[in-house]
Amino acid sequence: MLAKIHWAITAVLLLAVATFAGLTVAGVLRYQPSGVTNDNPTEVAETISGRYRIEKVDDAREVIEAAGMGGFFGPKILEAWVFKYSGGYLQVKLQAEYQDEIAEGEPLPADWPPLLQANDALKENSDVSLRREGYIILTATPSQMPIDEAIQIYSPQLAGSFATATGGPLQMIFPLCLELLHKRPYRLFLSGRPTSGTPGHGYNFWAVHLLPIREPVLPRDLFREEFYVGGGKDLQPAKDITLLERKRGNSRIKLKARFLPDAEVRELATTKSDE
C-alpha cells in the first residue's frame, strides 16, 4: 500500500515539474519574438510596442515652465509642452481654430530635400538611416499686440453705441464684452538625430508662429482651460497625429505631427530643393 502511495506522489510531482517547464518555455516563446534576442533590447522594444512612438515628457516640461515663467529664456513663458519621439523622420505643425476658421503655421521642417540629401547613409540605401529620434517643444508667450490694436476690430460697434433702436448700446456693446482678437506668439522646436549607436548628423529647427486667438476681454485662468494630449507607442506613418489640443479662450490650438513613410523619405532625398 505504501509503495502505491509513493509511486502516486512521485507521478504527481513529475507531472507538476513537466507542466512548469512547459509553461516556462511557452512564456519565452510568447514574449521573445522569432529572430529577436535579448542582446538587442531596442529591437525587442520595437517589436512589442511598434516602431513609431511619441510620448510626452513631464519632467522636461516642468523644468522649462519653471525657468521660463521666471524669465530665464528672455520673454516670459506662459506654458510649455515637451514630447519625445522615435522611429523615423518627423514633421510638426501648429494650427489655431475658431469655428470654421483655421490658421496654420509653416511646418517644421518646411523643406525636406536639403536635409535628407545631407544623410550619406540614405544614398547607400541603408535601412538604419531611416531611423530618427528627438524632441518636440512648444511654448506660449504673452501676446505682443497692444489692446488698442486688438480692439480696432470692434470700432464699428463702438461708433454704433451712440445710435438708437436696434443699433443702440444694448445691441452693440454686448458683443464687445464677449471677446477680443489678438495674436499670441508660440515657439515651436523640433530636434532630430540618429538612433543610439547609428552614425549620422542631427538637426534642430525652431520657429515663432503668431496665431490668432479669440479670448474674452477678461481672459480665463490658463490652467483651467481644457486640453487633450495625444501620442502613443504604436503609431502609423503618413497620418496626422494630434499631440496637443489646447483651448485658449474661444479658440483651439492644435499641435500635429506626421511620420514620413520610408518610401517618401527616399523619394524626397532625390528631389531638388524648393529654393
Res 38: pLDDT? 38
Residue 124 per-residue DSSP state:
T
Res 192: pLDDT? 95
Res 82: pLDDT? 98
CA distance 229 to 38: 32
In the block, residue with C-alpha cell 521666471:
70
Res 53: pLDDT? 97
Angle at 58 between CA 79 and CA 80, to 5 degrees: 15
Task: Provide the pairing of β-strand 227-229 with 180-194.
Answer: unpaired
pTM: 0.72
Cα pseudo-dihedral 169, 174, 175, 177, rounded to 10? 120
Each domain of the chain, given as residue ranges in start order, spans 49-268
CA distance 76 to 67: 9
CA distance 137 to 61: 8
Q: Report the residue count for the chain.
A: 275
The pLDDT tens digits of the residues spanning 55-75 come to: 999 999 999 999 999 889 888
Q: 53 and 217 in contact (C-beta within 8 Å)?
A: no
Q: Give the H or E element holding residue 174.
A: helix 169-176
Res 36: pLDDT? 34
Res 51: pLDDT? 94
CA distances from 106 to 111, 181, 207, 209, 268 (A): 10, 21, 9, 8, 18
Q: Give the closest residue to 216 by CA, choosing from 253, 184, 251.
A: 251
The pLDDT tens digits of the residues spanning 208-261 come to: 999 988 877 666 677 788 899 999 999 999 999 999 999 988 889 999 999 999
Bridge partner list, 134 = 85
Instruction: Answer left, alpha or beta for residue 103, where phi above 0 means left and psi between -120 and 50 means alpha.
Output: beta
Could you tell me the maximum CA-CA distance found in the chain, to the nearest angstrom? Answer: 113
Ranges in the chain, pLDDT < 70: 1-48, 144-179, 217-220, 273-275
CA distance 101 to 211: 12
Q: Which amino acid is at 159?
A: A
Q: Give the closest residue to 135 by CA, choosing from 213, 54, 238, 244.
A: 54
In the block, residue with C-alpha cell 464699428:
156
Bridge partner list, 14 = none
